Amino acid sequence: VEFLYCDLASMKSIRQFVQQFRAKNCPLHVLVNNAGVMLVPERKTEDGFEEHFGLNYLGHFLLTNLLLDTLKQSGTHSHNARIITVSSATHYVGKLHLNDLQSRCSYSPHGAYAQSKLALVLFTYRLQHLLTANGSHVTANVVDPGVVNTELYKHVFWVVKVVKWMTAWLFFKTPEEGASTTIYAAVSPEVEGAGGCYLYNEERTKSADVAYDEELQRMLWTESCKMVGISDEANRLD
C-alpha cells in the first residue's frame, strides 16, 4: 500500500495530489469519495467555503473531475472504472440552496451537513449522465453506509454522545459493516456497467425525489465548476 497526502478541504492540496498521482502513470480503476465532517460549528476551509459544503462535496467534485481522464483511460468495455461516492440517509431531509450554498444567511450544522450529502447524490447522477453521453467506460454510484460507529459524531450534543456510547453496540454498524456497501460498489460483478444507482445494504434503492431533478443537477454542476475553477464544457455541450 502506498499513501499520497491529500487534504479534501484544500483545492491546492487536491491539485497537488492529482499532479503527484498522474506522475506515477498508474491506471485508476476505483475512486472512493469518502472524506467528510458532520455537524461542525460554522467555519470555513482555506478557500473560504463553508466546511461541510467545501470538504464533503466540493473537494470530491474537484478531485473526481481532475481524475476523470485517468479513469476513462483505465476503464474497458468489460471492466468499467468505478467512482463510488459516500453520501448519507441525511440527504433525504436536505435542501439545496443554490442562492446560498455557503449557508451565509442562516447557518445550521444539521442543514449544512444534509445539503452537502444531497449535493453528492445530485453530483453522482449528473456525472453518470455525462459519462454515458460521452460513451465512457466509467460508472458513478452513490452509497449510503448506514449509521456507523465512528468518530464522525464528535461534534454532536453531549447527551447524544452519551446515548450513542450506551447504544452503539445495538443500533450502530461497526466500521467494517459500514464499509460493506462501498466495497460492494467497488468490486462486485453484480454492478459491473451499472451507474447512477443509490446503494444501501448492498442493494439499489430510491434516493430523495429531489435528487432526480435533472435541471437541479445541471445547475449545481455549473455552479460547482465556477467555485472550484474548472471548465463547464460538458454542460454546455449537453
Residue 203, helix vs strand vs coil: strand
209 occurs within a structural domain: yes
Q: Which residue range is the domain that position 26 belongs to?
A: 11-236
Task: Identify the pLDDT of residue 176.
Answer: 73
111: domain CATH number is 3.40.50.720
Q: What is the tens place of the pLDDT at every residue in 29-51?
A: 999 999 888 878 899 999 999 99
4 occurs within a structural domain: no
CA–CA dist 72, 139 (Å, integer): 10
What's the whole-number mean pLDDT along residues 2-23?
A: 97
Give the mean pLDDT of the chain.
Answer: 88
5 occurs within a structural domain: no
Q: What are the grid coordinates assigned to 106, written together?
A: 442562516
Percent of the chain whose pLDDT exceeds 70: 85
201 occurs within a structural domain: yes
Residue 12 has pLDDT above 70, yes or no: yes
Q: What is the tens place of the pLDDT at every residue in 189-200?
A: 999 999 999 999
Residue 72 has pLDDT above 70, yes or no: yes
What's the whole-number mean pLDDT along residues 50-71?
A: 97
Residue 66 has pLDDT above 50, yes or no: yes
CA of residue 238 relative to chain centroid, distance: 22
2 occurs within a structural domain: no
Lowest-pLDDT choice from 4-18, 114-128, 134-148: 134-148
User: Annotated catalytic sites, by residue?
Assistant: 113
1 occurs within a structural domain: no
**Which residues are CB-neighbours of 101 under 8 A, at least 6 positions away?**
50, 53, 115, 223, 227
**Strand 198-200 versus strand 203-205 pairing type:** antiparallel
Q: Higher model confidence: residue 150 or residue 104?
A: 104
CA of residue 203 relative to chain centroid, distance: 18
Residue 171 has pLDDT above 70, yes or no: no
Residue 157 has pLDDT above 60, yes or no: no
Query: Where is 200: in which H helix or E strand?
Result: strand 198-200
What's the whole-number mean pLDDT along residues 121-126?
A: 98
Task: Identify the pLDDT of residue 37.
Answer: 86
Residue by residue, DSSP assigns 131-188 as HHHHT-SEEEEEEE--SB-SGGGTTS-HHHHHHHHHHHHHHSBPHHHHHHHHHHHHH-
Rounded to the nearest 10 degrees, how much is the dihedral formed by the CA atoms of 95, 99, 104, 109? 10
Count how many domains the chain has: 1
Confidence of residue 11 (pLDDT cuts 50, 70, 90): very high
Residue 233 has pLDDT above 90, yes or no: no
